[in-house]
Chains A and B, each alone.
Chain A
Amino acid sequence: MAPPAQTNRSPSPSQPSGKSEVTDLKSQLRQLAGSRLPGVDDSKRELFKKVISYMTIGIDVSSVFGEMVMCSATSDIVLKKMCYLYVGNYAKVNPDLALLTINFLQRDCKDEDPMIRGLALRSLGSLNVANLVEYLVGPLNAGLKDNNSYVRIVAVIGVLKLYHISVTTCIDADFPAVLKHLLLNDQDTQVVANCLLALQEIWNGEASTSGDAMKEREALLSKPFIYYLLNRIKEFSEWAQCLVLDLVVKYVPADSNEIFDIMNLLEDRLQHANGAVVLATAKVFLHLTLSMTDVHQQVYERIKAPLLTLVSSGSPEQSYAVLSHLHLLVMRAPYVFSADYKHFYCQYNEPSYVKKLKLEMLTAVANESSTYEIVTELCEYAANVDIPIARESIRAVGKIALQQYDVNAIVDRLLQFLEMEKDYVTAEALVLVKDLLRKYPQWSHDCIAVVGNISSQNVQEPKAKAALIWMLGEYSQDMSDAPYILESLTENWDEEHSAEVRLHLLTAVMKCFFKRPPETQKALGAALAAGLADFHQDVHDRALFYYRLLQHNVTVAERVVNPPKQAVSVFADTQSSEIKDRIFDEFNSLSVVYQKPSYMFTDKEHRGPFEFSDELGSLAIGTESDVPAHVVEANDKDLLLGTPDKEESRGAGTNGSAYTAPLYDTSLLSTATQVQPELPISNPAAAGLSPQSSLAIDDLLGLGLPAAPAPTLAPSPPPLKLNAGAALDPGTFQQKWRQLPICLSEELSVSPQGAAALTTPQALPRHLQGHSIHCIASGGQAPNLKFFFFAQKAEESSIFLIECKINTSSAKTQITIKADDQSMSQAFSTLFQSALSRFGTS
């Protein structure tokens, strides 16, 4: 037989997509279609193979669809499989022809061989043609009831496929209910696992429009169901175990005993050879113990060794994924890893993305006892042939110097770098020495002596040059030839391409002028003239500013340029702690590898189930919220540009070094750090579930739905008073929203006046504020608006959370209420409704 290798190699993008070959295939297939000769299956196999190999390399073979279907009447299972694969690939673009396949697929769904039934069912689901869904419902129903588990496994996924082709068909056929039944009753764990993932996807998709789906979704987190899964976790495949663990993470145990129970149950999962299982388990441990500081710390200790083992076994790719998580943990709790620093030493043959992580970890874990050894090791890397890593290593030394109290030895090392006479080493070291001086001005004497020996001609990199110039200006009194170096730099103004360097040069000449006027006067004149003629707007403006300032009053100018400076105690961190917490929340996901929360790289619909926080995150800040938007100084890699000098922060804007953090992190999460202590260990809602745990397995999911007390039956609730001055920070809001079950979900109408008044969405929060209901976030675009409110019971700490979705054109509102004290939710709902109904009328 002819291996497809040849055919695969030949086509190149320039070739006309192998048209003649396809025509050939077509006629050959036609010849074979009706043939019943012996050996015909073998010839068919060869042809089918060719078709699929073309398909693989991207040649369009959809034109043989009809012939393929004709040839598919066969009992040869290998042929059937190839045919199914082909059909699945092209049905979507050939919906009419796809109809041809329905017949044989439906017939195969009734085959006596379960394998054939399963295969046909899977292919039927993969057709992905909207107007064929009606043919899918029957076989799926049969498949879900099949006595062979393979068929059921396929059928469950088939339901999910159907859901994605046609939501209504799937829901109308009541498939979610069937899956729910299988989820709780099927003996085959893979069927259970598939039901779990399918239901999560379906309910997650439905939750935005249906309160029922939202309740179902919450019900997956009920205690009996979680334990039902946990107790048989070892029966699941390793992949399904990950699925179960991902669900368990979202479960809120009632008390610490429960937390320990769960951890004991899962303890041995940490010894699994599959890194995905170990990380999913680690996530459960970490999140369960968030509010128990001591235990949380022990969890770090416990998961450390298994993670280190995973890093050193497995492929480099797997080890990178685990190392990224270890990196996150090290950054959060460096002291836990302080004795393990040798694990983070770089190996010469590691890829640079691994080395970079390790360098950051080494920087973080360095403490008084290990600094010397770590810095020695880092200095070895500085001489490394891998230049980017050498640079990173020098930066790491600098960072350690900035975080240590005893910097003597490190300063010496840095100064040695300056003497190494490698361009890039000198460049990096200069930047670091500058930062060091800003923090430890007392070292200026030693540093300046060495820096003075560096010829500015040998420094080419803008950042390094800027650093050198800054030092020349700042310490011009200690460097005898500072004015002359600055003067010669000024003379070469036109050859300096970096605006950053020119800005620094202007400032340095100014500083120098006030310290040594006679020597600098000439340079200053030249610099100002050159600056005024500069094409770069910022350079021009700064020159003009200095010029006018000098004209105005020289003393004032001196105070502006050379104010007494305070040593910088802490350099701004690159990432706000809010973002870090959010990444930690998303442990065991890509967020950790990218070091970004998921909303920064993922579309909303792909963020996975239960991710309320992103929903909140994407909304704008509540208009009435009094959290001020503050500016986060994002720190550039070299720590340079977030400089505190007054006049430099002016230039900083152009360097992009300081920016106004996007609204999400300033407003909604700014206080997230406070969340942990407030985390309710046992919330009444979750605790309320356990007494009801009936053993009837069918009821498992029903338990998640606390029956909302019918207003007529419930004892009339005491009149509810709200605290007008209630305060809740967004982080706590998110935590609570995630933890509490839904108490109430209702659809209301808004008065027409109210809907009209919503042309300015801010009006509603303002109105409700008058009723002691506070807005925490709002967003959306007319006609669909979304608000999150909260309220607090007067004289009690009990909090109500409200999600309110308003469609202004239909004047309908969907509200979802969650409450610490569920018994009060009905009363609160009444109160909320009356407040809402008055909106627009007053």
Chain B
Amino acid sequence: MISQFFVLSQRGDNIVFRDYRGEVQKGSAEIFFRKVKFWKEDGEEEAPPVFNVDGVNYFHVKVVGLLFVATTRANVSPSLVLELLQRIARVIKDYLGVLNEDSLRKNFVLVYELLDEVIDFGYVQTTSTELLKSYVFNEPLVVDAARLQPMSPAAIFMQGTKRMPGTAVTKSVVANEPGGRKREEIFVDIIEKISVTFSSSGYILTSEIDGTIQMKSYLSGNPEIKLALNEDLSIGRGDYRSSFGSGAVILDDCNFHESVRLDNFDLDRTLTLVPPDGEFPVMNYRMTQEFKPPFRINTLIEEAGALKAEVILKVSAEFPSSVTANTIIVQMPLPKYTTRVNFELEPGALGQTTDFKEANRRLEWALKKIVGGSEHTLRAKLTFSQELHGNITKEAGPVSMTFTIPMYNASRLQVKYLQIAKKSSTYNPYRWVRYVTQANSYVARI
């Protein structure tokens, strides 16, 4: 049970504010914002998603820079409220196509309409886009998607890849398209976030894949869908033990959206579901089985005199050359007495930038893309303001990396086929099955 719900912009303005029970004072949004903004004086720690000020509990989630907040005086389930906030954001996105400050402001009346149906007197009534459709009457005013930051991992499909219609994922589930008729299509995205920690000698200390099969359906008439996964897929209780050889995909654990029926899952690894409107995760999974990390990182630090050192970073892409990673950023904290860094890129390097962030003494190397099988090197000459004492490796590192690799998945989990129950012989909707791998925490110690 919650008392209020509101959405704040990055500057702390109320975009929508709904009081359901009148148990919390009106100024709560301001109290909340001040608390979040100045959580700790040094600003080093950010406010946790749940905190209590004078008996009022504040919950918040950050979505595209907006703060979705709920307040209550009751001792409720934190998971429930945080899940709800996330779900409200998702429903709004389903409606508006794009979720950001601009689209929210343009459609705030519609958002109020949604909020009225989602929560009554502080209790959740429904968060199903499908059900809400019959109660909501405002037409969304769709904002231009092109210049907006993406919200969900799936939004990365908007960039680069030509094979997909760029606007599809930012399409509202209710708004009609300019042509007047809706295109029948369904998107299935396999999104994997990988975490790898390499020891200083390059040995893999930990590795994990957190995956989601995300679906977004624009099919009319709610046909039943069959989704087949690898037949040799097994779900075991891996206690971080690696398994070799078999080649089978072994998940540690997974969970499913409530619309998913698992009648045949044990038999042939198929999921059956009638997809509701809007975007939702069909299945979340977790894997600690050993896999081949897409990148190797080599770091070499050489002291060159008392006030100088050289860092050599080498990144090698260990995936097929048919695949290209994009928006790669390599970062490395440097000793705090570093005053100057001279970078030296490999000859003929394209689409690479380097930077030394003085505020937090951090080296940053950005690469637009890396083709599978290639290797890139950066040399950085550091100058210090005081003499080195002790080991420089204790003062610098670790090297961390973020990247996105479309059409690649580390787990080898696959959607073998996507079957849509046929309405007629001419019914042949567009089906998009897309893979993408992103770095979650990709770290090499030095």
Q: Are B206 and A342 in contact (CB under 8 A)?
A: yes
Name the residue on B nearest A154 (C-beta). B120
Least distance between A761 CB and chain B CB atoms (Å):
28
Q: Which residue of A lies closest to B102 (CB)?
A: A5
* Contact digits for A368-408, partner B, Cβ 8 Å, 1 yes 0 no: 00000000010010010111100000000000000000000
Q: B22 interface residue, CB < 8 Å from A?
A: yes
Could you give, for residues 229-271 of chain B, a 1 whenever the CB lies within 8 Å of some chain A CB and a 0 otherwise? 0000000010110000000000011111110000000000000
Residue of B nearest to A197 (CB): B123
Answer whether A317 and B61 are a contact pair too, CB < 8 Å, given A52-B109, A305-B252.
yes
Are B255 and A273 touching (Cβ within 8 A)? Answer: yes
List residues of chain B with CB within 8 A of the CB of A197.
Answer: 1, 123
| Known contacts A309-B252, A388-B44; A608 and B75 CB within 8 A of each other | yes
Closest partner residue, chain B, to A58 (CB atom): B14
Distance in Å: Cβ of B270 to nearest Cβ of chain A: 16
Q: Does A160 reach chain B (CB closer than 8 Å)?
A: yes
The answer to whether A275 touches B73, judged by C-beta atoms less than 8 angstroms apart, is no
A306 to B48: give the CA distance in the assembly, Å: 23
A5→B395 CA distance, assembly (Å):
47
In the complex the two chains form, is B124's CB within 8 Å of A313's CB?
A: no
Cα–Cα distance between A248 and B443 once the two chains are bound (Å): 44
Given A273-B258, A308-B253, A347-B440: A352 in contact with B44 (beta carbons within 8 A): yes
Q: Is the CB of B116 within 8 A of A318?
A: no
A274 pairs with B83, CB closer than 8 A = yes
Selected from B57, B239, B333, B395, the residue in CB contact (under 8 A) with A590 is B57
Residues of A within 8 A of B16 (CB): 56
Q: Contact check, B394 vs A589: say whether CB atoms are below 8 A apart.
A: no
Contacts of B121 in A (CB 8 A): 125, 157, 160-161
Tell me if B284 is interfacial: C-beta within 8 Å of chain A: yes
Do residues A589 and B75 form an inter-chain contact, with CB atoms below 8 A? yes
Q: Which of A1-16 contact B (CB under 8 A)?
A: 3-5, 8-9
Chain B residue with Cβ nearest A339:
B239
The answer on a CB contact under 8 Å between B79 and A279 is yes
Question: Looking at the complex, which one of B46, B109, B240, B254 makes contact with A49 (CB distance below 8 Å)?
Answer: B109
> What's the nearest-Cβ distance from chain B to residue A280, in Å?
7
User: Looking at the complex, which one of A313, A315, A324, A603 makes contact with B73 (CB distance below 8 Å)?
Assistant: A603
Min CB gap A597→B, angstroms: 9
Chain A 139-164, CB-CB to B under 8 Å as 1, else 0, gives 00000000000100110010011001
Knowing A317-B49, A318-B82, the reply to whether A305 touches B237 (Cβ < 8 A) is yes
The answer to whether the Cβ of A238 comes within 8 Å of any Cβ in the partner chain is yes
Cβ of B133 within 8 Å of any chain A Cβ, yes or no, is no
CB neighbours of B46 from chain A (8 A) = 351-353
In the complex with contacts A276-B83, A313-B284, A420-B390 CB distance below 8 A: yes
CB-based contact B389/A421 at 8 Å: yes
Chain B residues near A161 (CB, 8 Å)? Answer: 121
Contacts of A271 in B (CB 8 A): 254-256
Q: Is the CB of B389 within 8 A of A606?
A: no
Q: When the two chains form their complex, are residues B124 and A78 in contact, meaning their CB atoms are under 8 A apart?
A: no
User: Is there contact, CB below 8 Å, between A239 and B17?
Assistant: no
A315 and B239 in contact, given A78-B138, A608-B74 (Cβ under 8 angstroms): no
Q: How far is the CA of A5 from the CA of B13 in the complex (A)?
A: 11
Q: Which A residue's beta carbon lies closest to that of B23? A: A606
- Residues facing A in B193-248 (CB within 8 A) are 195, 197, 205-206, 208, 210, 212, 237, 239-240
Query: What is the CA–CA distance of A157 and B253 in the complex, to the nearest angstrom?
Result: 38
Measured CB to CB, the closest approach of chain B to A781, in angstroms, equals 21
List A contacts of B84 (CB < 8 A).
Answer: 239, 276
A168 CB to closest chain B CB, in angstroms? 19
Interface contact A128-B22, CB-CB below 8 Å: yes
For the complex, is A332 an interface residue (Cβ under 8 Å from B)?
A: no
Given the known A-B contacts A314-B86, A318-B83, are A420 and B394 also in contact in the complex, defined by CB atoms under 8 Å? yes
Chain B 1-53 interface residues, beta-carbon cutoff 8 Å to A: 1, 13-17, 19, 21-23, 26, 44-46, 48-50, 52
Complex Cα spacing A312 to B193, Å: 9
Known: A238-B258, A352-B44. Contact between A322 and B79, CB under 8 A?
A: yes
Chain B nearest CB from A6 CB (Å) reads 9
A152-186 contact mask (Cβ, 8 Å, vs B): 1 or 0: 01100100110010000000000000000000000
A53 in contact (CB, < 8 A): yes
A655 and B138 CA atoms in complex are apart in Å by 61
Q: A317-B60, A386-B44 are in contact. Are A590 and B75 (CB under 8 A)?
A: yes
Report B-chain residues with C-beta under 8 Å of the C-beta of A276. Answer: 77, 79-80, 83-84
State in angstroms the CA–CA spacing of A672 and B70 once bound together. Answer: 35
Indicate if the CB atoms of A601 and B55 lie closer than 8 Å: yes
CB of A197, distance to nearest CB on chain B (Å): 6
- Would A312 and B44 be within 8 Å (CB), given that A275-B83, A321-B50 are in contact? no
Q: Which residues of A contact B283 (CB under 8 A)?
A: 273
Taking chain A's interface residues, is the majority helix, strand, or loop, or is none over half, making it mixed? helix
Q: Is the CB of B197 within 8 A of A345?
A: yes
Asked if A310 is at the interface of the complex by the 8 Å CB criterion, the answer is yes
B320 sits at the interface (CB 8 A): no
A321 touches B73 (CB 8 A): no
Q: Who on chain B is nearest to A599 by CB?
A: B75
Within 8 A of A (CB), among B354-390: 360-361, 389-390
B137 within 8 A of A: yes
Q: Are B22 and A92 in contact (CB under 8 A)?
A: yes
At the interface, yes or no: B306 with Cβ under 8 Å from chain A? no
Whether B50 and A8, one on each chain, are in contact in the complex, defined by CB atoms closer than 8 angstroms, is no
Per-residue 0/1 for B278-303: is the Cβ within 8 Å of any A Cβ (1 yes, 0 no)?
00010111101000000000000000
Interface: B308 (CB within 8 A):
no
Asked if A257 lies at the interface with its beta carbon under 8 angstroms from chain B, I say no
CB-contacts of A611-634 with B (<8 A)? none
A808 near B: Cβ within 8 Å? no
For B334, the closest partner residue in chain A by CB is A385
User: B15, B79, B125, B252: which contacts A308 (Cβ < 8 A)?
Assistant: B252
Contact B52 A601 (CB under 8 A): yes
- Least Cβ distance of A7 to chain B in Å? 10
Are the C-beta atoms of A342 and B240 separated by less than 8 Å? yes
A contact residues around B17 at 8 Å (CB): 56, 58
A237 contacts the other chain (Cβ, under 8 Å)?
A: yes
- Checking A164, A305, A321, A387 against B79 with a beta-carbon cut-off of 8 angstroms, the contacting residue is A321
Nearest CB of chain A from residue B121's CB, rounded to whole Å: 5
Bound-complex Cα distance A305 to B205 (A): 21
The docked-state distance in angstroms from the alpha carbon of A320 to that of B208 is 18
B140 interfacial by beta-carbon distance below 8 Å: no
Q: Which of A308, A420, A590 has the most CB of B within 10 A?
A: A590
Partner among A278, A324, A342 whose Cβ is within 8 Å of the Cβ of B255: A278
- Interface pair A239/B124, CB less than 8 Å apart: yes
| Measured CA separation A602–B54 after assembly (Å) | 9
Using known A-B contacts A153-B125, A273-B258, A276-B83, determine if residue A324 contacts B78 with beta carbons closer than 8 Å.
yes
Shortest Cβ distance from residue A582 to the other chain B in the assembled complex, whole angstroms: 12
Interface residues of A in 586-613 (CB under 8 A from B): 586, 588-594, 598, 601-603, 606-608
Chain B residues 108-133 with CB under 8 Å of chain A are: 108-109, 112-113, 116, 120-121, 123-128
| Residue in chain A with minimal CB distance to B7 | A56
Query: Which residues of the other chain, A, contact B124 by a CB distance below 8 angstroms?
Result: 237, 239
- Which B residues lie at the A interface, using CB under 8 A? 1, 13-17, 19, 21-23, 26, 44-46, 48-50, 52, 55, 57, 60-62, 72-80, 82-86, 102, 105-106, 108-109, 112-113, 116, 120-121, 123-128, 134-135, 137-138, 195, 197, 205-206, 208, 210, 212, 237, 239-240, 252-258, 281, 283-286, 288, 333, 360-361, 389-390, 394-395, 398, 400, 440-441, 443, 445
Could you pull out 12 A-B pairs where Cβ atoms are within 8 angstroms? A49-B109, A194-B123, A274-B258, A275-B79, A305-B252, A309-B253, A324-B78, A339-B240, A348-B398, A349-B440, A352-B46, A590-B76
A343-B240, A349-B441 are known; give 8 further A-B pairs, CB within 8 A: A81-B113, A157-B120, A239-B80, A239-B126, A239-B127, A273-B281, A590-B75, A590-B78
- Sort A-B residue pairs by CB-CB distance and give the 9 closest, nearest first: A347-B441, A276-B80, A313-B284, A317-B49, A305-B253, A239-B124, A312-B210, A606-B73, A353-B48
